[in-house]
Amino acid sequence: MRRAAVALALSVAGCCCWADPNCDDRSGHGTRAGHGLLDRLRARRIAPLQPPTFSQYHLPGYQWANVDRVLVLPFLNESQHTRAGEEVRAAFASQLQRLGRFEVVSAAPDERDPFAAQIHRGGKFDELAMLALAKRTSADVIAHGIVTHYSPYPRPRLGLILQAVGPAEAKVVASVDGMWDTTDAALAERCRTYYRQRAKPKPAFVRNHSIVSDDAFSEELALDSPALFQRWVCFEAGNALLELPVPGVLSPGANLPTAAQNGAPNGAPGAPQPAVPPATDGNVK
């Protein structure tokens, strides 16, 4: 019954080859709308596990469950877009808050802004300054990031480095380094899948009119809206930083997916490959 309903919908849309997975109708009989629906149905049916597009490191034995408060420093922006650092920092802080695991505090862009730059460019941090900063803000972890590359235009790209420093340990306890480039079709589909699987808000009704939230069209706008794209990147990067599963990404040490794994359900959890760990004396490699 469901298959018949899909066939009827595609017939109405003008798609004449919905059942043929190898169909490439260039004769003009099928409509763009029909083939768009066909592509989306195929994407939902097949969701292969993907190799990670970022690396990660976690200090052995470190427990995020013991963290109550996280301070997010201003992000260092190395891209051509002047507001990229502020926008991505805001998206990252929002993602941490949505997890509901700890209190998130965003530092104002004052004297702490050069502090983030010192960590990245100098390759090390001042342990005394880190302890003083943690004491002033009662933070268990201090996080900072670097936007290495950003292009908001379709298809968008974002290079991001995240590092979490434990003041008590005087070490980097977790880090993520990667490039999210949606010119890769598989990665672009991962972005759409993230918004496709999110709960859609119900429209509000005012008299005889329906008001639909922007989130109702988030799947279609995921690669066109800079804000939606940044939110998705920060979701994946934030999960990797906290050693949480990243849907659709291979687990650490896993082999490339086999033919059987390529048919895995959409959104299968996984995590990125581990990176070379920073030095244990506080230096950041």
Domains and CATH numbers, the chain: 1-45 (no CATH), 54-184+221-274 (3.40.50.10070)
Q: What are phi and psi of 84, to 5 degrees?
A: -60, -40
pLDDT of residue 29: 46
The span from the CA of 102 to the CA of 89, in Å, is: 17
C-beta of residue 264 within 8 angstroms of C-beta of residue 44: no
**CA gyration radius, the chain:** 22
What pTM value is reported for the model? 0.67
Query: Tens digits of per-residue pLDDT, 21-39?
Result: 445 444 444 444 455 555 5
The span from the CA of 70 to the CA of 68, in Å, is: 7
Q: What is the DSSP string of 185-236?
A: HHHHHHHHHHHHSSPPPPPEEETTEEE--GGGGHHHHTTT-HHHHHHHHHHH
C-beta of residue 46 within 8 angstroms of C-beta of residue 267: no
Query: Tens digits of per-residue pLDDT, 81-121?
Result: 999 999 999 999 999 999 999 999 988 766 555 565 666 56
